[in-house]
Amino acid sequence: MNKYFAQLLPYLERNQAYQTALALLSWDTETLAPVAASEYTAKSVGVLSEEAYHILVCEEVEDLLKKLSSPKELESLSVSEQAIVRLLQKTYHKLSCIPAKEYREFSELCATAQTVYCRAKQNSKFEDYADTLEKLIEYTKRFAAYRAKKGESVYNLLLDEYEEGFTTEVLDSFFEKLRTALVPLIKKVVAKNDAIDKSYNSGDFPADIQSGFCRFLSGYLGFDFNRGVIAESEHPFTTSLHNHDVRITNHFYEDNLESALFSAIHETGHALYEMGVDDALTGTPAGSAMSMGMHESQSRFYENMIGRSRDFWTPLFPKLKETYPDELSSVSLDDFIAGINKAEPGLIRIEADELTYPLHILIRYELEKEIFSGECKVSELPKRWNEKYNDYLGVTPENDAEGILQDIHWAGASFGYFPSYAIGSAIAAQLYAYMAQQIPLADYLREGNLVPIREFLRDHIHKYGAVYPTNELLKKVTGEEFNPDYYIRYLTDKYTTLYHL
């Protein structure tokens, strides 16, 4: 092993220990911790974050990274080691521009902001959260400005953190393509919606029974309970301490069957990615999924391409009916497939169907651009949000909880994150088209054999962790870089068939 790389490893190990502790605190806050704990936990988060900062931002690491960036040293590293150095350089550059004290204050603010946000959402009062959001935006702008090159846009820097190379120029054209294709398609689909009855979805579904079925579903898809756990939280999410400790959550609404079912499939898709990373990368900067777009491609592949297909439910639907004998007694597999794919413009992103979903993302993308260009003030956000929902989806929120307050992302200063959902859906469609040519996907689903599908994804995507940037990995797997045409074709074909257009 290269001697400079070997000298870097103890720093990575110590940093990993702090990151694990921080991830556990965050997991605890969102699952089990009492509300009153948040202020004190936030202080610990601040202290630990500052310590972690100093482990990486120090002369020794700077010196080692400099040495390792010379062509001679780089050449002596393996592909994975080169990726680790490249990813660490990026983190180092980002952190070292920020003064340690400000970094600590910001980490504390993020930890308390989650609680402020949750309370404001419960009371449906945006004004209770507006000041906190304002501060989060100020910090984000300031930190980005510290490292921005002359003329570089703050929002592009933020986007780059979640998906390298997907600038506003790339995304503007991507979303324009989606808008042009989807808006007329949605109109045609909605006009035929009366024929679909999905009243079965709002029956009486006890939380403990839902929880049991969802647990079964995660295992069916390949979730490894020796390496993972499942808990409950307000919003379903996945967190990974490393590939041997991956945690997902769900949320159960007793008057809604689909919500938890598809959250379980979605989060399991995320978990399979993290569990599938090669052990050689565990605990390194390359030991997790490549990007949020790639991450979402796996969760949305399972949720939509697999989980909403007839082939997937053919062996499973009898078991679902057995689980809810009264509620589903008169529902056929065809009714269920039509119901789970029914496209209806609505207010809530995470409840949205596959077809209208990208428009929810487009709205958030446009708002983030307006926030970071200074075009929209925080106080104007609820109004702008509602206007855009009316323009794109023809629906208007009646209150902040079902409008501007529905997503937790901004409370964690995750600005620039939302586009990865749409990027991920498009990558999922691209991978799906490729996979269907390589393996008998439909046969496996009908046989209830999900193993070859998970293995295919593990061999082609998961095992590499963050070694290859998104476009490089896509090209390596499918022979082509990111191409949204697959997504548009997939949605058009699927809904034309489903709705007999």
Stretch that binds Zn ion, among 79-87, 294-302, 311-319, 488-496 (CB under 5 A): 294-302
Angstrom distance (rounded) from CA 24 to CA 33: 11
The pairing of beta strand 245-250 with beta strand 228-232: parallel
Nearer to Zn ion, 331 or 461 (CB): 461
Question: Which one of 3-11, 90-98, 160-168, 293-301 is the stretch in contact with Zn ion (CB under 5 A)?
Answer: 293-301
297 is a contact residue toward Zn ion (CB under 5 A): no
The residue among 299 and 478 lying less far from Zn ion, judged by its C-beta, is 299
Q: Least Å distance between CB 266 and Zn ion?
A: 6
CB atoms within 10 A of CB 225: 10
CB of 236 to Zn ion, least distance (A): 8
Q: What is the 8-class DSSP label of residue 98?
A: S
Region binding Zn ion by CB under 5 A among candidate stretches 162-170, 197-205, 299-307, 463-471: 299-307
386 binds Zn ion (CB under 5 A): no
Neighbours of 42 (CB within 10 A): 21
Question: Using an 8 Å Cβ cutoff, are 300 and 271 in contact?
Answer: no
Of 315 and 412, the one with the shorter C-beta distance to Zn ion is 412
**Least Cβ distance, residue 404 to Zn ion (angstroms):** 20
Residue nearest to Zn ion (CB): 299
Return contacts of 364-370, CB within 8 angstroms, 24+ apart: 364/407, 364/418, 365/171, 365/175, 365/418, 365/419, 365/422, 368/155, 368/158, 368/415, 368/416, 368/418, 369/155, 369/168
- Indicate the helix (H) or strand (E) that contains 75: helix 71-75
Q: Please identify, using beta-carbon distances, which residue of 210 and 298 lies nearer to Zn ion.
A: 298
Binding segment for Zn ion among 49-57, 70-78, 168-176, 295-303 (CB under 5 A)? 295-303
Residues 186-205 that bind Zn ion (CB under 5 A): none
CB of 342 to Zn ion, least distance (A): 21
Q: Which is nearer to Zn ion, 240 or 299 (CB)?
A: 299
Binding region for Zn ion (CB under 5 A) out of 9-17, 298-306, 375-383, 461-469: 298-306
**Least distance from Zn ion to the Cβ atom of residue 408, Å:** 12
Can you say whether residue 248 is alpha, beta or left, with left for phi > 0 and alpha for psi between -120 and 50 degrees? beta
List binders of Zn ion among 78-117 (CB under 5 A).
none
Just list the catalytic residues.
267
Q: At residue 153, what are phi and psi to the nearest 5 degrees?
A: -80, 140
Residue (126 or 357) nearer to Zn ion, CB = 357
**Count, residues near Zn ion per rule CB under 5 A:** 1
On the 0-12 / 13-18 / 19+ scale of CB atoms within 10 A, 90 is middle
Contact indicator for 492, 181 with CB cutoff of 8 Å: yes
The residue type found at 8 is L
Question: 312: closest CA among 238, 250, 220, 225?
Answer: 220
Q: How far apart are CA 70 and CA 87, in angstroms?
A: 16
Nearest distance from C-beta of residue 188 to Zn ion, angstroms: 28
Closest CB 422 distance from Zn ion, rounded Å: 12
User: Around Cβ 325, how many Cβ atoms within 10 Å?
Assistant: 8
Helix ranges (H only) for 352-411 are 357-373, 381-393
C-alpha distance from residue 61 to each of 53, 64, 99 (Å): 12, 5, 17
Q: With respect to Zn ion, which residue has the nearer C-beta, 15 or 268?
A: 268
Q: Specify the stretch interacting with Zn ion by CB under 5 A; choose among 104-112, 177-185, 296-304, 354-362.
A: 296-304
Q: Is 299 among the residues that bind Zn ion (CB under 5 A)?
A: yes
Q: Which lies closer to Zn ion via its Cβ, residue 80 or residue 299?
A: 299
Q: How far is the CB of 302 from Zn ion (least distance, A)?
A: 10
**Residue 238 DSSP SS3:** strand
Residues near Zn ion (CB under 5 A): 299
